[in-house]
């Protein structure tokens, strides 16, 4: 195995102390603290968070670090050390942040300024979250996540930034400085902060995120998969030990960056929403029973066919395309529920849990490729190669159109897989997926 293909999560303390000294150089003053939020991998449940489906994410040990110090002139000064994004210090005027003031050109800093806007909004209903008048901050950002790698680099940036703002600019943070913040944040607080980050991304950045990524970053548990029910955003942490006994999960970053704010993601989502409206549902999850099976999917598809029979298009969209998006969403929901029950202890008696989970992963990929149509050549090739090298399963994760493939494989098979992947593309990188902690003050 060549070490060069692995992206290491790094030593958090080293990364932090490096970042803090770069902060001093950049802004000529000391950082008040450092905050971290992880990226995520998702076992199943892609493109269904916004249909109230179930997702099964876990946090990576890779993530985004934000060093920050407060300002009293209301300004934000922001810089990232990520080579592909760094264009020096960006200064943001708070009056220019908000849904009505979305700038035309995409820039990474909008995720951060959007979060400050969203925290201000949250503070209107929860006074301990109310951002001080005149609050601003200097921020320096560094990430061990591939940017646009489908591992939630955007949500990690949002969640690390919101903790920095919370700590430096609100009564909540002032009452609970730095590490105390970790202990003080309740589950409800974390849920509300994740929701604020979603608002930032949807209303300010203009991306169609559904909350999976921010929930994973804010609420993940070490060693666990979060079974996230997007009907009410309740989470059940489930042990992943039964899958990983004798196996490893790795994320293969294809090197093809995706952009959520691009039109394609929204387009796929709109197809599925058109199908939902035809069926008379606000949320597609409601089209299936509590514990859905394949036959339930067939019934909904039959109903769709009946309703669509006389139509030429569905709100101007191709009926076939809408039907495929619908089928992806429904089968993905069935897979999620199956995994949820398997990991909730009902795996007892399942002899080959890794191959059962692997089969679900691969079926998820086929659905992403053929029905959601969000896959791309390199991802398909990575999945094929992983399976040919003996992986139990592999699938594209995240929004698609670029990003990463999750692979379940024995440690013994990894060296050969690595060599085979290097032949596909030089841009491919591997990350070890070891379910880690949620966003925190360091
Ligand atoms: C992106 C979105 F931000 C998430 O909300 C989710 O929809 C995901 O794509 C696909 O499952 O990461």
For the chain, how far is it from start to end, CA to CA, in angstroms? 33
Half-sphere exposure of 116 (CA within 13 A, CB side): 28
Q: Tell me if 421 sits within 8 A of 394, measured CB to CB.
A: no
Residue 265 alpha carbon, nearest atom of ligand 1: 9
Pocket lining: 46 vs ligand 1, CB cutoff 6 Å:
yes
Q: Tell me if 77 sits within 8 A of 89, measured CB to CB.
A: yes
Confidence tier at 257 by pLDDT (50, 70, 90): confident
Percent of the chain past pLDDT 70, that is, above it, reads: 96
| d(C-alpha 262, C-alpha 190), whole Å | 28
At 404 the pLDDT is 97
Catalytic residue (choose from 49, 82, 138, 213): 213
Catalytic status, residue 377: no
Q: Tell me if 221 sits within 8 A of 160, measured CB to CB.
A: no
Q: Which residue has the higher pLDDT, 207 or 288?
A: 288
pLDDT at residue 179 greater than cutoff 90:
no
pLDDT at residue 262 greater than cutoff 70:
no
Confidence tier at 259 by pLDDT (50, 70, 90): low
Confidence tier at 103 by pLDDT (50, 70, 90): low
Predicted TM-score of the model (pTM):
0.96
The values of phi and psi at residue 237, to 5°, are -75, 130
Pocket lining: 212 vs ligand 1, CB cutoff 6 Å:
yes
At 27 the pLDDT is 98
pLDDT at residue 346 greater than cutoff 80:
no
- Annotate 285-298 with b (16+ C-beta within 10 A) or e (fewer): bebbeeebeeebbe
| d(C-alpha 241, C-alpha 357), whole Å | 13
pLDDT at residue 244 greater than cutoff 60:
yes
Residue 212 alpha carbon, nearest atom of ligand 1: 5
State the complex-level ipTM. 0.99
At 350 the pLDDT is 61
* CA 32 – ligand 1 centroid, Å: 32
Q: Tell me if 265 sits within 8 A of 207, measured CB to CB.
A: yes
Pocket lining: 201 vs ligand 1, CB cutoff 6 Å:
no
Which residue from 46, 268, 406 has its CB within 8 A of the most atoms of ligand 1, so it is best to mutate? 46
Q: Report the pLDDT averaged over residues 296-317.
A: 97
Q: What is the pLDDT of residues 374-422, one digit of tens each?
A: 999 999 999 999 999 999 999 999 999 999 999 999 999 999 999 999 9
* CA 398 – ligand 1 centroid, Å: 6
Q: Is residue 352 classed exposed, middle or buried when 0-12, 13-18 and 19+ CB atoms within 10 A define those classes?
A: exposed
Confidence tier at 57 by pLDDT (50, 70, 90): very high
Q: What is the pLDDT of residues 164-173, one digit of tens each?
A: 999 999 999 9
At 242 the pLDDT is 85
| d(C-alpha 340, C-alpha 355), whole Å | 16
Percent of the chain past pLDDT 90, that is, above it, reads: 87
Residue 345 contacts by C-beta under 8 Å, 6 or more apart in sequence? none
Alpha carbon dihedral 50, 52, 58, 59, in 10-degree steps, equals: 40
Residue nearest to atom 3 of ligand 1 (CA): 209
pLDDT at residue 208 greater than cutoff 90:
no
């Amino acid at each position: 195995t060549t070490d060069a293909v692995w992206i290491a999560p790094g030593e958090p303390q080293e990364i932090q102390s490096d970042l803090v000294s770069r902060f001093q150089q950049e802004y000529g003053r000391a950082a008040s603290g450092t905050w971290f939020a992880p990226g995520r991998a998702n076992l199943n449940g892609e493109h269904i968070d916004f249909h109230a489906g179930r997702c099964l994410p876990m946090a990576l040990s890779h993530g985004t670090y934000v060093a920050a110090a407060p300002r009293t002139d209301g300004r934000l000064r922001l810089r990232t050390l990520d080579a592909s994004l760094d264009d020096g210090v960006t200064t943001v005027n708070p009056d220019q942040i908000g849904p009505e003031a979305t700038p035309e050109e995409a820039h990474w800093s909008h995720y951060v300024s959007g979060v400050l806007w969203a925290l201000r909004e949250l503070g209107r209903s929860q006074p301990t979250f109310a951002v001080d008048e005149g609050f601003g901050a200097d921020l320096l950002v560094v990430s061990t996540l591939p940017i646009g790698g489908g591992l939630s680099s955007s949500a990690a940036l949002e969640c690390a930034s919101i903790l920095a703002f919370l700590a430096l600019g609100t009564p909540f943070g002032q009452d609970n400085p730095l590490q105390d913040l970790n202990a003080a944040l309740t589950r409800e607080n974390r849920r509300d902060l994740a929701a604020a980050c979603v608002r930032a991304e949807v209303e300010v950045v203009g991306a169609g995120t559904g909350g999976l990524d921010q929930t994973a970053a804010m609420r993940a548990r070490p060693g666990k998969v979060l079974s996230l029910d997007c009907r009410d955003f309740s989470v059940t942490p489930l042990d992943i030990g039964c899958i990983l006994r004798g196996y490893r999960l790795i994320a293969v970053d294809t090197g093809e960056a995706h952009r959520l704010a691009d039109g394609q993601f929204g387009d796929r989502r709109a197809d599925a929403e058109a199908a939902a409206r035809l069926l008379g549902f606000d949320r597609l999850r409601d089209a299936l029973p509590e514990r859905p099976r394949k036959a339930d999917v067939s019934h909904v598809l039959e109903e769709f066919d009946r309703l669509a029979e006389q139509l030429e298009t569905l709100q101007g969209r191709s009926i076939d395309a809408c039907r495929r998006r619908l089928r992806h969403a429904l089968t993905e929901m069935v897979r999620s529920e199956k995994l949820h029950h398997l990991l909730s202890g009902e795996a007892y008696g399942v002899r080959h849990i890794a191959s059962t989970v692997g089969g679900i992963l691969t079926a998820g990929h086929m659905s992403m490729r053929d029905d959601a149509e969000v896959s791309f050549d390199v991802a398909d090739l990575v999945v094929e190669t992983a399976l040919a090298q003996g992986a139990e399963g592999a699938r594209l994760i995240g929004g698609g159109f670029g990003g990463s493939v999750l692979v379940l494989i024995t440690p013994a098979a990894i060296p050969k897989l690595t060599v085979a992947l290097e032949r596909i593309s030089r841009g491919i990188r591997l990350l070890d997926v070891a379910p880690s902690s949620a966003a925190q003050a360091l």
